[in-house]
Amino acid sequence: MYNALYKELLDKVNGGSKCAVLTFLSMLDGKNGSIEEKILLTDEDIERKSYPLSDDLYEKLKLSLDMGKLEIINTEGDKGVLIEPFIPKPRLIIYGGGHVAKPVSELGARVGFSVTVIDDRPFFANVGRFPEAERVICESFEKSFDLTGFRKTDFAVIVTRGHRHDGIVLREVLKHDLSYIGMIGSRRRVRAMMEELLNEGFDKDKLASVNSPIGIDIGAVTPDEIAVSIAAQLISFKNKSALNKFGKDFVFPEFDVEVAEKISEESPVSRALITILSSKGSTPRKAGTKMVLYQDGRTIGSIGGGCSEAGVISSARSIMPDKGFMIEHVDMTGEVAESEGMVCGGVMDVLIEVF
């Protein structure tokens, strides 16, 4: 029913756009109801107020995108609106596919980056070598720039196989306003490169912003250790940037690409989209996490596993014949957690939508 909307959402987020999905709810009671409509708005749509919504709701939308937090708003009587923000992961572009690039790609993907790896050698630039990367490009570095483009939120890591290739990439990325530029190399080699670029007319302050030698100084020696030092620096830049811009309350909302892909596909059987609305305490997953449950028992994604997830799945099955939605409260604290063998100690509210 909403396949096209989630397909568009996937396309927009993968293209670098911040989006919000609004789900208009009609409450039968405090827990159950029906879904009246869903709409997708990009940050540009919200800025232009391109859809007929109240000014108050638009303010809530802007705040949701700024803070990365979803929220259910009571509008009138038994009506409500769920606002879900979707913010693209910062893109980590790794130039070079060698021994350092591999663990950098793995760690980058694990800590919240959308990873792109570029190398001109087929043996080094292939999906088999970088299965965690969302994109692997086998092309010359010069030609790769047009294939990727650049965004302000990009993080560029230059770990090519030689001085000449480093120079090609660095000269190009310095032309763009990126969140992070880092280049591997010894202090002597880096100093020579910077002097060369300064003589070519590159801005001194821009050159000083390049993190090179790359990474946090932890005395790293092996490729894995160097990758850890680079990943630590990437995390620092990513989180401090969000903190400086949005404050300590900002969170990167969850966005499971596989779940979005599945919900955007046609399905011959009923299915439920399960979303964590809020969580407090030591819960395994945070607000915004989604999973899909099919009528035949298949699941995609997870909201934390264990007895808590099993209980939500059971509730989802119970409303599948009637469609609509249900809000389920899950308690993982105190005696409830102990009796069910849970190691977590928190509570969460979960939205179950059937369509």
142-176 per-position pLDDT tens digit: 999 999 999 988 999 999 999 899 999 999 999 99
Summarised one tens digit per residue, pLDDT across range 248-275 is 666 777 788 888 899 999 888 889 999 9
DSSP state letter for 320: G
**How many whole angstroms separate alpha carbon 299 and alpha carbon 52?**
36
Domains of the chain: 3-87+252-354 (no CATH), 91-245 (3.40.50.720)
pTM score: 0.78
Q: Using an 8 Å Cβ cutoff, are 287 and 277 in contact?
A: yes
Give the pLDDT confidence of 71-106 residue by residue, as tens digits. 999 888 889 999 999 988 899 999 999 999 999 999
Contact 54, 46 (CB under 8 A): no
Separation of alpha carbons 82 and 277, rounded Å:
9
108: tokens are 């980058």
Cα 37 versus chain centre, distance:
25
335 confidence band (pLDDT: 50, 70, 90): very low
Reported residue count of the chain is 355
Contacts of 118-127 with CB under 8 Å at 24 or more apart are 118/93, 118/94, 118/144, 118/148, 119/95, 119/160, 121/97, 124/96, 124/97, 124/98, 125/97
Element (H, E) at 74: strand 71-74
Give how far Cα 145 sits from Cα of 139, 168, 176, 268, Å: 10, 11, 11, 42
Q: Is the peptide bond before 213 cis (omega within 30 degrees of 0)?
A: yes
